[in-house]
Each structure stands twice: as C-alpha cells, then as structure tokens.
Chain A
Amino acid sequence: MSDPIPFRPFVPGTQPALNTPAYLSTGKRYPLRAPHRMPQTITETTGPVFSPALFPPSADLTRNTTGQAALGERIIVAGTITDEDGRPVPNTMVEVWQANATGRYDHPGDQHDAPLDPNFRGVGRVFTDAAGRYSFISIRPGAYPWPNHRNAWRPTHIHFSYFGSAFATRLVTQMYFPGDPLLALDPIFNGVPDPAARDRLVAAFDLDITQPDFALGYRFDVVLRGRGATPMEG
C-alpha cells in the first residue's frame, strides 16, 4: 500500500494561536507544550462521509423550527468550498448555528436578556453540490454581550462546521458581516494574526445572491487544506 499524500501544513500567521490572551478563556485551556510533530497516516488523511439520507439537510433556518416564519432580517448565505489548490470540495456536510435577530441563542447557557423567538432555533445543515457550492436561508443574527471584558460585545456572526475529505481538513469557524464596528474590538476575530486571513472570515454583500423582494445575499467562500507540496506561485 502506497503512503497517503499528506495535507499541507498551515501557512504561519493564517491560523489563530491557541494562546490568545485577549480572549480570557484561552488562559487555562491552551496547551503549554508545542504539539508533537508526526507524519500524517491513514488516520489523518481519511475522514467521515455523511450522506444526506442519514443526515438530512435543513437549509431554511427561517422556517425549520415550527414552520412559522422567524422574525428578523432575512438573509441568504452562499459560497463555494474549495481546497488550497482551488479545487471544489463536493458533497461535504456543512453545519451552521447562530443567535437569533435579538442576539440570543436558543441554548440554556445563554442568559442574555434578549427575547427568544419560538420560531427560530438557529440550526441548519447543508451539503455542497458537485461544484462545492452551498447556500442557506437565515435571519441576520444580532450582536450580544459576553463577559470577556468590560462592555464586551461579540460582532454579528454565524458559526460554521466543515468536514472536507479527511480528519485533517476539519474546520470550525465563524462568519462575520461586512462593516461591523465590533470587529475591530473582538479578541476572537483578531486572534488571527494575518490581516488578510482575518478579513476572509468577513462575508461579502453580494447582489447576485440577493433575491429581489426576498432577502439580502452574502457570499462566504471557504478554503480547506490542500494535499501535497505547495505549488509554485505562477
């Protein structure tokens, strides 16, 4: 059996440091020791395959809770998932979760004094098509306070979970909205050192995704790790 082709290491600065002091909860949780370097094996270069039959998609978060319409500004989020070589990642599962329009999660741990919406649970699941494209309909989430520091507010965001083709390509991240004044103040967003990598977490308003008389559209393209050596820049 030939050796699997490994996924490339992350480019320095493009991923957040586990030790991010401005985000206080990292203080007692980041490992002090550098991770042990090891070659990727079949364990890391393979991964789960989720079938829509067993893991049914649910792409309209404005209607998937009770069937009644959720309150808030309706949005469409769409994009393409590719690898670092620009190849689409087809048929991969994407999980999303978010606060409602008032900035409140339908979660017992969220005690923010903002109303829940009985028609908005804030959870969705979609799969990319053969070209790596996905889309879902939701409500623009609200900003909300958190106890990290005095008067701390999280910028408006949607949580995303991606699998890709392998254990090594797993990614959990957050999508932000353009023009949010809270971005400059947020230690989680700013925990990504490279400004270009950081800015790619901000979705782009997109008139082509926007549907007339229905919802504003935002584009959020995501790149998962690619395999093999880094190609030479052209």
Chain B
Amino acid sequence: MSTATASQTIGPYWHLIEDESWADLTRFGATGERIILTGTIRDGDGAPCPGTCVEIWQADPAASDSFPGFGRANTDADGTFRFVTLRPGPMPGLGNTLQAPHIAIRIFARGLMAGVVTRAYFEGDALNDSDPLLTSIDDPALRGTLVAGQDAPGVWRLDIRLQGDGETLFLDV
C-alpha cells in the first residue's frame, strides 16, 4: 500500500481548465430555491486575491443529471467569486444528529500548497444552533466566519480571509 499522492499548488494558470458556466450549478435545468453565494477572498494584508479557484460541493439537494452539486468559480479583479446554486436543506450528521444547511468550499490558489476547506452556513437558520460542527467551535467570532449573511433576498455573502485579522476558520477534513 501507498500513501496519498502529495498536493502541489494549482498555480496562476489554472484558468486553462476554467469553464465559467461551472459557477452556475443550475445550468442543467435544476429546479428549486435558487440562491447566489458570493464572497471576497483576502490575504494576510487584507488585499483581495484575484484569480483564485473556488470550488463548492453540497450533498443536498442530491446530485443528479440536472444538478451537479459541484461548482467552480474564479475570483475577479476584486477577489470576488459568485455561484448560482440551489439552497441546500438539512443533512444527516453522525449518529442521530442533523446538520444545518451548508455548502462545502475549497480554495486553491497560487501561494497555497494545497486546497483549504471551509463551509458556508446560512445566517438565521434555526438549525445552526444545534449543528454539530458550529456548536463544536467555542469562539463565536470564529464560528461566524463560517456563516454567510444575506446581502439581499437570496444573495448570500461569505467573505474569506486566508490569514490575519478575521482569519476564516478552515477545516481539517
């Protein structure tokens, strides 16, 4: 047996595999509650990180021919990504627990030797208070880095700070 192959940075030229349509998870005709998930990625100086590869995955609604569950987006010159997707519902947790609706996020970039992972939860969701992951984070400010706020109806924002003040809580998955 062998251990998993080592990661290397995605580098600055990953756009060669970018397909802008992948940022819209509803493009195959999915129906449901459409939402926008957007945010700005910043580095340790607070400077925006353009050209970053942001990937999302959600286990709900279940992936199908009309809904891939997976999306990939570039960040623009302002470091901002934008996905169109369906709002997830609650998902089973371990044991008999229930997870609050959330979307998994992985960020690849020049200067990141491997992808970093976090989650977007939805502010105000009644299940957030009993979500196994959120309740395992003692510091409310840290917990808040995983909770998207609503900019406008259906437009959810999760800004991500890679390093420094307000650093996002990344997850060891």
A-side residues, CB < 8 A to B, are 1, 3, 10-11, 14-18, 20, 23, 25-44, 46-50, 54, 82, 84-86, 95, 97, 99, 105-107, 109-110, 121-123, 125, 159, 161, 167-168, 170-174, 188-189, 191-192, 194, 197-198, 200-201, 222-226, 231
Most chain A beta carbons < 10 A, residue from B43, B93, B163: B163
A38 with B133, Cβ < 8 A, contacts A31-B170, A33-B169, A174-B8 known? yes
Residue of A nearest to B172 (CB): A35
B45 neighbours in A (Cβ, 8 Å): 28
Residue of B nearest to A110 (CB): B13
A49 with B16, Cβ < 8 A, contacts A23-B9, A29-B49, A35-B170 known? no
A107 neighbours in B (Cβ, 8 Å): 12-13, 15-16
Contact B17 A161, beta carbon cutoff 8 Å: yes
Bound: A171/B131 CA distance, A = 28
Bound: A80/B2 CA distance, A = 13
The stretch that binds A, out of B32-40, B98-106, B122-130, B147-155, is B98-106
Residue of A nearest to B108 (CB): A172
Contact with B3, one of A11, A28, A174 (Cβ below 8 angstroms): A11
A36 neighbours in B (Cβ, 8 Å): 136-137, 142, 169-172
B168 neighbours in A (Cβ, 8 Å): 31
B61 contacts A by Cβ under 8 Å: no
Contact with B112, one of A30, A32, A39 (Cβ below 8 angstroms): A30
**Minimum distance in angstroms from A117 CB to a CB of chain B:** 14
Contact sample, A vs B, 5 pairs, CB 8 Å cutoff? A10-B4, A11-B3, A29-B49, A30-B111, A49-B63
A170 neighbours in B (Cβ, 8 Å): 55, 106, 115
**Minimum distance in angstroms from B131 CB to a CB of chain A:** 10
Contact B6 A42, beta carbon cutoff 8 Å: no
Contact with A41, one of B6, B70, B91, B113 (Cβ below 8 angstroms): B91
Lowest 6 CB-CB distances: which A-B pairs, in order? A25-B111, A48-B70, A35-B172, A16-B113, A29-B111, A28-B44
B99 neighbours in A (Cβ, 8 Å): 41-43
A171 neighbours in B (Cβ, 8 Å): 4-5, 7
Interface size class of B (residues with CB under 8 A): 35 or more
A3 neighbours in B (Cβ, 8 Å): 94-95
Residue of A nearest to B52 (CB): A29
Beyond the given A32-B164, A43-B58, please list 6 additional residue pairs across the A-B interface where CB-CB is below 8 A: A10-B3, A29-B109, A41-B99, A47-B57, A107-B13, A172-B115
B30 contacts A by Cβ under 8 Å: no
Residue of B nearest to A9 (CB): B172
Contact B163 A198, beta carbon cutoff 8 Å: no
A201 with B8, Cβ < 8 A, contacts A36-B170, A107-B16 known? yes
Residue of B nearest to A167 (CB): B57
| B11-41 contact mask (Cβ, 8 Å, vs A): 1 or 0 | 1111111000000000010000000000000
